[in-house]
């Protein structure tokens, strides 16, 4: 689906008014509206009203006739909007305005919101699978980028939100280093029926992690599986060598790290303290949890160069 032949008649920007990239720069939204208008896309602004409201707002906009939804904010806002669009044929476009902007960086979109808006007509819509999480209920929550159980979710659970607003990604690193003496619980991870142990399990659809690193180096938005990266170690300090290995692109070769692909991943709850789970950078719950592929779930507008690159890699196994 090429948006040039799609002729969007009515679009909505659903945005998080307190996102770090937007709370002090409302003018970026106004300039983005103008950039879309220059492409003959008439757009209204729809601010989120509470945590979780973006899903219902996206559904409402589609029911009211919108044929293009743009999510403006960070990956958490994009996650909420995408959950309201599952199995719709209406395409989703991304206007980055968060802290890490993982999805925008994965697709090599401009991080400047107005610049990203100005390129919407050049993007192409492609159907893709997403991940779905189930905790202790039949209800499933979708995720576009990744889910993590263990260390990274623990860091998010302890993050000072005021520091995050002021320092951005640096707040995550500071919080992570503050946990260096902690003892980490290990838990069982079952990937397509085979059992492993981990104190951090990353279940990813993207290579990019946090905007700075590539951990799941074989993942792709256009594969029908996850890349699963498992780290072992009961001391948080043991993750410092892992960090070096990830930075050098050698994590998969390190003792204690396992990289594999799968379509169903279950993380069991260990005895003792709860183990947290994060979804697209937001705290989501505690173990146990099961992640499954939801096929043909979403139409995402992506740069054609990015899609061509992904297609060229499709024959390569996800954990290669």
317 domain residue, yes or no: no
Which residues on adjacent β-strands are paired with residue 279? 147, 282
Look up residue 6 and give its two tokens: 């799609």
Residue 169 and residue 41 share a domain: no
314 domain residue, yes or no: no
| 130-184 residue pLDDT tens | 999 999 888 899 999 999 999 999 988 877 566 566 555 555 555 655 565 578 9
Residue 283 and residue 160 share a domain: yes
62 domain residue, yes or no: yes
Helix, strand, or coil here: 218?
coil
115 domain residue, yes or no: yes
CA angle 98, 299, 28 (to 5 degrees): 30
260 domain residue, yes or no: yes
End-of-domain residue from the set 77, 98, 122: 122
304 domain residue, yes or no: no
> What's the CA gap between 63 and 54, in Å, rounded?
14
Residue with tokens 């159907």: 127
147 domain residue, yes or no: yes
| Burial zone of 213 (CB within 10 Å; 0-12 exposed, 13-18 middle, 19+ buried) | middle
| 21-61 residue pLDDT tens | 565 667 899 999 999 999 999 999 999 998 889 999 999 99
Residue 202 and residue 163 share a domain: yes
Residue 101 and residue 153 share a domain: no
End-of-domain residue from the set 99, 122, 145: 122
Residue 140 and residue 108 share a domain: no
> What are the angstrom distances between the C-alpha of 201 and each of 103, 176, 277?
19, 16, 9
Residue-level pLDDT at 212? 77
Residue-level pLDDT at 17? 85
Range of the domain at 25: 3-122
Residue 105 and residue 61 share a domain: yes
Phi-psi region of 307 (alpha: psi -120 to 50; beta: other; left: phi over 0): alpha
End-of-domain residue from the set 89, 122, 155: 122
Q: What is the CATH number of the domain that holds 215?
A: 2.60.200.40
230 domain residue, yes or no: yes
Residue 29 and residue 141 share a domain: no
Residue 230 and residue 89 share a domain: no
Cβ contact 153:204 at 8 Å: no
Residue 115 and residue 12 share a domain: yes
Number of domains in the chain: 2
Please give the sequence-ordered ranges of beta strands (E in DSSP) within 247-308, or none if there are none. Answer: 257-262, 264-267, 276-279, 282-286, 289-302
Residue-level pLDDT at 146? 97
Look up residue 72 and give its two tokens: 């403006």
Q: What is the CATH number of the domain that holds 49?
A: 3.40.50.10330
Residue 198 and residue 100 share a domain: no
Where the chain has pLDDT below 50, the residues are: 1-5, 318-320
| Nearest residue to 128 via CA among 316, 294, 305 | 294
Residue-level pLDDT at 164? 60
Residue 272 and residue 145 share a domain: yes
Residue 149 and residue 251 share a domain: yes
**pTM metric for this prediction:** 0.91
For 105-152, the DSSP string reads HHTT--SSHHHHHHTGGG-EEEEEEEEEEE-SSS-EEEESSEEEEEHH
């Amino acid at each position: 689906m090429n948006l040039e032949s799609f002729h969007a008649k009515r679009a909505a920007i659903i945005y998080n008014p307190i996102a770090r990239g937007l709370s002090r720069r409302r003018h970026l939204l106004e300039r983005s509206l103008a950039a879309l208008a220059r492409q003959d896309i008439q757009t209204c602004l729809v601010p989120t009203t509470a945590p979780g409201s973006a899903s219902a707002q996206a559904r409402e906009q589609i029911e009211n006739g919108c044929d293009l939804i743009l999510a403006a904010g960070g990956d958490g806002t994009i996650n909420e909007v995408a959950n309201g669009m599952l199995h719709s044929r209406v395409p989703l476009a991304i206007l980055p305005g968060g802290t890490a902007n993982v999805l925008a960086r994965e697709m090599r979109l401009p991080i400047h919101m107005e610049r990203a808006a100005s390129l919407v007509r050049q993007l192409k819509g492609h159907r893709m699978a997403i991940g779905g999480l189930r905790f202790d209920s039949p209800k499933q929550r979708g995720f576009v980028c990744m889910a993590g159980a263990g260390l990274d979710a623990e860091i998010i659970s302890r993050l000072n939100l005021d520091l995050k607003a002021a320092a951005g990604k640096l707040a995550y690193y500071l919080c992570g280093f503050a946990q260096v003496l902690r003892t980490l619980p290990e838990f069982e991870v079952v990937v397509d029926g085979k059992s492993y142990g981990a104190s951090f399990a990353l279940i990813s659809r993207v290579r990019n992690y946090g905007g700075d690193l590539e951990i799941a180096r074989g993942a792709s938005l256009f594969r029908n599986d996850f890349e699963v990266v498992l780290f072992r170690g009961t001391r948080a300090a043991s993750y410092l060598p892992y960090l070096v290995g990830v930075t050098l692109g050698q994590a998969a070769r390190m003792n204690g790290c396992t990289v594999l692909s799968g379509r169903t991943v279950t993380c069991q709850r260990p005895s003792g303290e709860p183990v947290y789970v994060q979804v697209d950078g937001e705290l989501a719950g505690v173990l146990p949890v099961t992640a499954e592929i939801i096929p043909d779930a979403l139409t995402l507008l992506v740069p054609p160069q990015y899609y061509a690159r992904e297609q060229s890699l499709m024959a390569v196994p996800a954990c290669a």
